Homo-oligomer: A and B are copies of this chain.
Amino acid sequence: MKVAVLGFGVVGRGVFDMIEKAQGMEVGYVLVRPGKVDAEYKTDSLEKILSDSSVDAVAEVMGGIEPARSYAEKAINAGKHFVTSNKALVAAHGLELSALAREKGVAFLFSAACGGGVPFLHNLACAVKTDKVNSLGGILNGTTNYMLDAMQSKGWSYEEALKDAQMLGYAEADPTADVTGLDALRKIMLACAVGFDVLPNEGLLNEGIDSLTAEDVEDFKKRGLTCRLLAKGERRERGVSAYVEPWLLESSAPECAVLKNYNMAKYEGECSGPMVFMGQGAGRYPTASAVLRDLSYIVSGEYYMLSDKAAAGAADNSACFHNYYVRLPKAFADEFKCADKQEDGADVRLITEKLSVSEMHAVAKKIRAEGAKVFFAGLEMEK
């Protein structure tokens, strides 16, 4: 199988190295920016790649929506299998690209776009062929998990944890997508599309960790709780729910054993029961290994993760109820029915009665609009 790699950044170099070592695979071309063509296998011309009939597959690892989307369309139209690590691309255009790939009889796979090196989407796609999956999700963002682990184990502030994550290359210069939960949200969109045949692109809710302080973490520890950023998707009576929230867990929960920048993805099948997948969620070779597995699935004849029934839909989070831990100024404490309330200076730390995810996010938005600082995290009171 001859593969053209689009992009030569962190992941692209890893994909290049792994293809060179893999049996039965070779790199045809690497697409780089004009002016960066410094080796025979590099080119800045997509047309050159697509017009070469010896190229079987294109692996896109550039990131971003354009030009990735138009490159994908061109590659598929040219009869090339298409593999990508690009979650923004698949969240926005995966349905149409997968449908086009089916029409052209070529593959459209995106393992690396959800869970990095963790083979989650592939296993989910296998599972739904013979089992019914009703819920899925987990720790899908390595950057924030690294930060949460550091804040918990080292007592660091949010700013210190972010700076360290950036120094180690886990967080980008602009960490917004990671710390607000948007990155995890895109991944849960893809997982819902594979697991439920619904790619939710409306009604999604994401709360990240950007409101978290060292004092909050100190308080979690006193309560014997550990914070993780969880993405959750569920099949509902009508449609699906899909959201991202910080979550407080008892230390014995498997999620708390997920340290550093690791990911842990999970689905629950009616027959299989819960199935959990843990590994590195990012990084050159872990992510590249997911791209390489996609290429080998193509060799085995597995071309799609999205079924031909997958369609866009709206998420509805109004029927998901759980308790919340909330830290906010005393003046706003009456916004919630509380199971527990502890004053902390000018703030109050509450455990709410159960309320819906959509209500919680709406109340937090309203309070923040008045200039107040709020942190909230889901938790399950019963065991």
Q: CB within 8 Å of B: which residues of A? A: 14, 18, 22-23, 25, 117-119, 122-123, 126-127, 129-131, 252-254, 256-258, 269-280, 283, 285-286, 288-290, 292-293, 295-297, 299-302
Q: In the bound complex, what is the Cα–Cα distance between A129 and B25 (angstroms)?
A: 11
Tell me the dominant secondary structure on chain A's binding face. Answer: mixed
Looking at A25, A273, A285, which has the most chain B CB atoms within 10 Å of its CB? Answer: A273
Q: Which 8 A-B pairs have the closest CB atoms?
A: A301-B301, A130-B292, A276-B278, A272-B289, A271-B285, A254-B257, A275-B279, A271-B289
Report B-chain residues with C-beta under 8 Å of the C-beta of A254: 254, 257-258, 278
* Distance between A224 CB and nearest chain B CB, rounded to angstroms: 13
A277 and B280 in contact, given A269-B289, A272-B285, A289-B130 (Cβ under 8 angstroms): no
User: Which of A258, A272, A278 has its CB near the most chain B CB atoms (within 10 A)?
Assistant: A272
Residues of B contacting A130 in the complex (Cβ-Cβ under 8 angstroms)? 18, 22, 25, 289, 292-293, 295-296
Contact of A271 among B14, B126, B301 (CB under 8 A): B14
Least CB distance, A332 to chain B, in whole angstroms: 36
Q: Which one of B18, B22, B273, B280 contacts A280 once the chains associate, using CB atoms below 8 Å?
A: B273
Task: Decide: A296 near B119, CB < 8 A? Known: A254-B254, A277-B275, A286-B272.
Answer: no
CA distance A167 to B269 in the complex (A): 26
B contact residues around A25 at 8 Å (CB): 130
Contact A117 to B273, CB < 8 A, known contacts A22-B129, A296-B126, A301-B300? yes
- Cα–Cα, bound, A108→B302 (Å): 18
Q: A269–B272 Cα gap in the complex (Å)?
A: 26
Q: What is the bound-complex CA distance between A119 and B269, given in angstroms?
A: 13
CA A130 to CA B253, docked complex, whole Å: 33
A283 → chain B, closest Cβ, in Å?
8
Give 26 A-B contacts (CB < 8 Å), ordered by A residue. Answer: A18-B131, A117-B275, A119-B123, A123-B123, A127-B289, A127-B293, A129-B296, A129-B299, A130-B292, A130-B296, A131-B289, A252-B256, A253-B257, A254-B257, A256-B257, A270-B285, A271-B286, A272-B280, A275-B279, A276-B278, A277-B277, A300-B300, A300-B301, A300-B302, A301-B301, A301-B302
A182 CB to closest chain B CB, in angstroms? 25
What B residues does A22 contact at CB under 8 A? Answer: 129-130
Sample of 14 further A-B pairs with CB below 8 A, known A18-B130, A18-B271: A14-B271, A119-B275, A126-B293, A252-B256, A252-B257, A254-B278, A257-B257, A269-B289, A271-B285, A272-B290, A273-B279, A273-B285, A276-B277, A276-B278
